[in-house]
Structure 1
Amino acid sequence: MSEKTIEGVQLCFYAHVRARHDGMLLSEWLLEQARRQGIGGGSVFRATAGFGRHGVLREEAFFELSDDLPVKVEFLLRTEQADAFLARVREEGVDVVYATSTIRFGVLGAQ
């Protein structure tokens, strides 16, 4: 089978593990919204340490801060999917940091 390469966007959202939106963990809400929009997949990655826009360092070593570590929710999308998904998140008034990068991605192996 031939490999198909897609020019697209890596869309990453950064939040705290306990961040919530609409009664759900924000990471779960983002994944659910992506699924509803027909996006083919997404992943959540938890950091072992980090600090955000407010400058508070959070690490697993500090017990009182360890339950609010940063998470990254990541998607590999076609440009139009990324634009539509960001529009949905904006429309909902979600308080979250995001980043986009232009990428090339594909699937190897049996499809």
Structure 2
Amino acid sequence: MQGSFLRFYVNAAQQHHGVLLWEWLLDQGSKLGIRGGSAFRTIGSFGRRHTVHEDRFFELAGSSGIEVEFVVTRDEEQRLFDLVRLEKIRIFYTRIPAHFGVINPDAQDPAGEATED
């Protein structure tokens, strides 16, 4: 299948509607029917203000970055972007074209996900 590898970069403490933004993104991805998503805590990061954040000290807990990743079809990507726009969330992301599939799919895998490589 053809699609995209999406990665969103958020602050660990950033919230949307009272929920941590990384959790909200994963929940919304699931509700949109995206097959899976993952969130990863960074050990160090900096953003547009060029302030380095590290998860070393207790008093800095929650100031590091979280990467939220999805591998999606074009349709899934559009629905996720439309939702983020509708919710007026300012968020930095990367999008990389991706070819993906399942080797040895079973009956629960959606049709068309079998890899031909």
Q: Which TM-score band applies after superposition, normalised by the shorter structure?
A: 0.7 to 0.9
Partner of 2:18: 23
Alignment of 1:1-111 (within 5 A): 6-111=1-106
AA at the equivalent of 2:83: R
- Gaps of at least 5 residues in structure 2 are 107-117
Partner of 2:114: none
TM-score (norm 1): 0.88
Structure with the larger RCO, 1 or 2 (CA within 8 Å, 6+ apart): 1
Cα deviation, 1:21-63, whole Å, max 9, x if unaligned, reads 0110001101111111111110001100010112110012344
Q: Taking every aligned residue pair, what percent have the same amino acid on both sides?
A: 36
TM-score (norm 2): 0.83
Displacement over 6 Å in runs of 4+: none
- Cα drift, residue 95 of structure 1: 2.1
Please give the root-mean-square deviation of Cα atoms over the aligned residues, in Å.
1.3
- Gaps of at least 5 residues in structure 1 are 1-5
- Which protein is richer in strand relative to its size? 1
Contact 1:10 1:101 in 2 (8 A): yes
Deviates more, 1:53-62 or 1:16-25: 53-62
State how far apart, in whole Å, the 2-side matches of 1:108 and 1:52 are.
Answer: 37
